Structures are given as structure tokens and as C-alpha cells.
A = this chain, B = another copy of it.
């Protein structure tokens, strides 16, 4: 078993610095864990530690020190002020706790004095063979086990009522590690709203011990993780990092958002994390070499991840566009071509088949049958299904972008599942788009997503998602030339 496993699947957790004061980190964190445990029916034990405790907190058995906790403790979560942390770590080590999450801030990120505290913390951990996540972090969120140390307000007042302030994503196959805690929780919120499922979330803060190298190595072997997202501002162990990415990429895509790519951005990053951000050209080349899917912005991060978590990689760059709106077809074509994919002319055989279909009324008589294939506003579900079959069957086509604008009369809510059945047979990636933000559009895209075809609200975002599936196919061929498809 990896020595990181107990961060995600502990049999018992002790919250050290648990508090009775609503709103405090030590209270909110304990409350989330206690509520998760009850709601999810999880069987890990939960303890609270507070030196001034004279009774239980939030119904959780509470002790004055970790020494007094009766059973074994797999995972300690420390939320006390920084100055107490080194001695608590020592105490935890003596108690046999092997995994600690140090939520507390006030370490290397605040200057020299903090740096000394952090060094002391790490010396204690090393002496006792412990693994530390943090300090200055949000910790972990694991929907499947209910382990969740994201202590920020779950709900906040809004207008006359209140709204969920930090929604958690449903369980899923995407894992996310983030150097920034604030950005990490914002990502949870984004994923929850987009319906993207989470395997494991890790905010590793100052990475005094566990860093991205360890975490990528762990997630590469994690059967619940199909896509790894890495948000980093600085990377210290460069060679090991790239090796970890390369090893992971052979098994699953690694999507990297590396902030601080301009000089002003790097200056901002260095002031934020007190770490040298490094030359972006070097990162760019190295990440590419290692097979990472590098993205440059938040939306692209999740658009790419969604596609990679649902669809197989493309084995080449040749994309067909299938549409019921000519303009949208042009836009997708523009975006594909300007990102390095190609929208080639279709093979003679495919063209002949489409022509036959057009003549025999299997697609509208005014359809455009070059690439894009434009079914026009007369399109029906069946026209889409037949055309997708033909396009996926063309050996000169590596993937299909389907632009199914729902506004035309003949397109129904059965289209997504019908197309998903065709796509499942093809072994080639398919992504979809319906333009609009009204209720039908949103629900229609959701049907595509649920059927396993990632759907996007603009042709360009769908096109870029396809480009990422192409890039992963190419990365896979590079890092693992003998295998042309990922392990299932």
C-alpha cells in the first residue's frame, strides 16, 4: 500500500485543534467530517482533540491530546496555530500516526520565522517516518470515502436566504491536485456546477513533504482516477516531476495548468508562493516531452478534462464536422484548423455514400456533403445517426465534432443517446455542441454528457476538446510507443 493511501481512505481520523466556536476552522472542518460520516454511513472513526475540552464537540468524542485517543489513528488533521504544530507533529509521531494534514498557515509563506517552524515540523515528521500534507493547505476531498477537510463556509447568507457556497462534485473519475488552496476550492465549485465527477482532490499548500511528484505517482496507480489535473505555480523537483508525469501519461491523461507563464504572471506567482516560477519555455518543452496536456486557462482545463474523462484519444488529426447549422460548422472548422487539427475532404467512398443518402432521402436533399457535412435546418435525429455512422466508418477520419443545434424542428431529446450508441461502436472520439444557454440547451447538453459524449455551448470549445483528445493520442504514442490506446 502506498504511504499516501491513508490520506484518502483512513480507518480513523483525529482533528487536532477541533473547536467549539462556529465559524472557526477547527469547528467547520470537524462539522463537515462528522456530517459526511453520518450522511454517507462511512465506518471510519472520528476523534476530536482540544487541550481545553471537557466534553464532546459536535457529538464527536473529544480528548485533551492525541495520546488520550483510545484507538489507532490513521490520519491526523492539524488546525492549531502554527507555533504549536511542530510539537504536535512530534506527539503524533510518538502516537504512531503516519499521515498528517497540516491545514494551519503561518509557515514558509509568511517569512523567516515561519520557515523555521516549517523546518521543525518536517524534521519531526522525518524522524518518525510520517507523511505530511501541507502546511498552509485545504487538504483533501474524497467523495467516495467522505474524507473532506475543505473547511471553508459550506453555506453563506444570500439575499433573504442562503446559498450553498462550496458545493462538492459528485463521485467520479477526475482527480485534481492544486498548489493553491483558494483555486482548488474554486475548482470544486466549478466541477460541481458542471457536473464533473471527482475521484480525489488534494490541496498540498507549502508542500513541505508531499508534493506533486508524490501525488502524481500515487494517482497514476489509483484505479478510481481516469484523468489527473495538476495546478502548479512552481515545481521544484523538475526531473522527478517529468518522470512521474511520463509514467502517469502511459496510463491516463495528465492535464497541467501552470500559472505564471508571462513575466508579470511569474512575478505575481513568486510573490504568492515565495517560489521561483522558472522559465516558461523550459516548462513548455518539458511538459510536452513528458506527454502532459498543457492548458492555459481554467475553462480549457475543465473542457479538456471532461473530454478526456469520457472519450478515447484520437489516433490522428483528421476530424469530420457534422452539423445542422452551416455557420457553426464554419466556426468549428476554423477552430480545429487553427489549433493544428485538419478538417480534410472526405474519401471518395464516403462522399459517394453521402451522395446516395442525399438522393435517397436518408439525409436532406439540400445537405452539404463536403466536410463539414451540413444537414441544414431540415435535419432529424435519424439524419444525424446515419451520417455519424458513415463518418466514423471512414478510415481517413480520426474523430467527429457533432454540432447538434437543437432549435431546428427535427432534432429531439432522443438524439444524444442515439448518437452515443453509434459513437460507442466506433472506437473514435466524438464530442458535441449545442449553442445556447436557455433551458433546452443546458438540458440537451446534459443528456449528451450523461450519455458519455462531452457537450459544449460553443463550436470552438467543442473543437478544442477534440484537439485535446488528439493531443493525448499523440502523447500516448510518444511516451508509450508500443501501445496506441490507454489501459482501460
Residues of A whose CB lies within 8 Å of any CB of B are 23, 110, 152-153, 156-159, 163-167, 178-183, 185-187, 189-194, 231, 233, 259-265, 267-269, 271-273, 296-299, 321, 324-331, 333-338, 342-343, 366, 368, 370-372, 374, 377, 405-409, 412-413, 435-444, 457-461
Q: Is the CB of B377 within 8 A of A182?
A: yes
Are B439 and A164 closer than 8 Å at their CB atoms? yes
- Assess the A413–B264 pair: CB atoms within 8 A: no
Chain B residue numbers with a CB within 8 Å of A438 are: 164-167, 189, 192-193
A179 touching B327 in the complex, CB below 8 Å, given contacts A189-B407, A259-B334: yes
The 10 closest A-B pairs by CB, nearest first: A193-B437, A189-B436, A272-B326, A180-B327, A182-B325, A265-B334, A183-B327, A186-B435, A297-B460, A167-B438
B183 and A272: CB pair below 8 A? Answer: no
Q: Is the CB of B458 within 8 A of A297?
A: yes
Q: By CB atoms of chain B within 10 A, which of A182, A192, A370 has the most?
A: A182
Partner of A190, one of B166, B329, B412, B437: B437
How many copies of this chain?
Answer: 2
Assess the B435–A272 pair: CB atoms within 8 A. Answer: no
With known contacts A152-B408, A460-B297, A330–B186 Cβ distance under 8 A: no
Task: Please pick, from B272, B337, B371, the residue contacting A374 in the complex, using a CB distance under 8 A.
Answer: B272
Smallest beta-carbon distance A184→chain B, Å: 8
Q: Which residues from B are CB-within-8-Å of A405?
A: 182, 186
Complex Cα gap A259–B403 (Å): 16
Once the chains bind, are B231 and A264 in contact (CB under 8 Å)?
no
Q: Is the pair B440, A330 in contact by a Cβ cutoff of 8 Å? A: no
Contact A297 B412 (CB under 8 A): no
Q: Which residues of B contact A163 (CB under 8 A)?
A: 439-440, 443
A269 with B167: in contact, given A437-B189, A458-B298 (CB under 8 Å)?
Answer: no
Q: Are A158 and B443 in contact (CB under 8 A)?
A: yes
Report the separation of the CA atoms of residues A333 and B457 in the bound assembly, to the nearest whole angstrom. Answer: 26
Known A159-B413, A191-B437, A297-B459; 16 more pairs at CB < 8 Å: A152-B408, A156-B412, A157-B412, A163-B443, A165-B440, A182-B325, A186-B407, A192-B436, A193-B442, A259-B330, A265-B343, A271-B368, A273-B326, A296-B334, A296-B460, A298-B460
Q: A331-B297, A436-B190 are in contact. Are A326 and B182 (CB under 8 A)?
A: yes
Contact yes or no, A261 B334, CB < 8 A: yes
Residues of B contacting A441 in the complex (Cβ-Cβ under 8 angstroms): 189-190, 193
Check A262 against B180 for contact (C-beta < 8 Å): no
- In the complex the two chains form, what is the Cα distance from A157 to B407 in whole Å? 12
A-B pairs with beta carbons under 8 Å apart, 16 shown: A152-B407, A156-B406, A158-B413, A165-B438, A166-B438, A167-B438, A180-B326, A182-B405, A186-B328, A193-B439, A260-B330, A263-B337, A264-B336, A264-B343, A265-B331, A268-B329
Q: What B residues does A409 contact at CB under 8 A? A: 23, 152-153
Q: Which residues of B contact A444 (CB under 8 A)?
A: 158
In this complex, the member of A159, A342, A405, A407 whose beta carbon has the largest number of chain B beta carbons within 10 angstroms is: A407
Residues of B within 8 Å of A265, CB to CB, are 330-331, 333-334, 337, 343
Please name the residue on chain B nearest to A263 by beta carbon: B337
Cα A403 to Cα B436 in complex, Å, equals 26
